[in-house]
Amino acid sequence: MSVVVAHLSTPEGREALDSAAIEAVRRGTELVVVVTEGSTSTPELAAAHEDDLRRVEERLEGTGTTLRREQGTSDLADDLVSAAERASADLIVIGLRRRSPVGKLILGSNAQRILLDAPCPVLAVKPERAAGA
């Protein structure tokens, strides 16, 4: 069993990664991080990505929870659902952007596909609002 998350170096991606790490430790299970092609497409993104993963690996030290990376493609929804199926996942964690009142009527297409196709529960998280926002 495991907790599956895709990581992007965005506020939403970092919140999803942090929340997935917390859930994996709480459940005493492996954390599977799906690395998509877009998450490391530039040297800057690749460096930020590695920093985020290193930070989470340090947090997991001594907890008994391990982090495993899986290479994905450019289709985030398919990658997450496939990784969850292969790992017999307990949970998929996704990050959501804050939306305008009109945008709240429409869930992002990747999030919608993951929610509809996931073989397990999905936890959707949003980053905290900045002070004064």
CATH number reported for the structural domain that contains residue 100 in this entry: 3.40.50.620
Which domain covers residue 99, as residue numbers?
8-104+115-125
d(CA 122, CA 27): 15
Stretch 35-56: mean pLDDT:
81
Stretch 11-32: mean pLDDT:
94
- The first and second tokens of residue 20, run together, are 């997935």
List Cα–Cα distances, 52 to 4, 56, 125, in angstroms: 16, 6, 17
Stretch 41-70: mean pLDDT:
88
User: Is it the case that residue 59 has pLDDT exceeding 80?
Assistant: yes
Collapsed DSSP state (helix, strand, coil) of residue 94: strand
On whether residue 133 sits in a domain, the answer given is no
Q: Residues 36, 43: contact at Cβ < 8 Å?
A: no
| pTM score above 0.75 | yes
Strand ranges inside the chain, DSSP E = 2-6, 30-35, 67-71, 91-95, 122-125
Q: How does residue 25 score in pLDDT terms, banded at 50, 70 and 90? A: very high
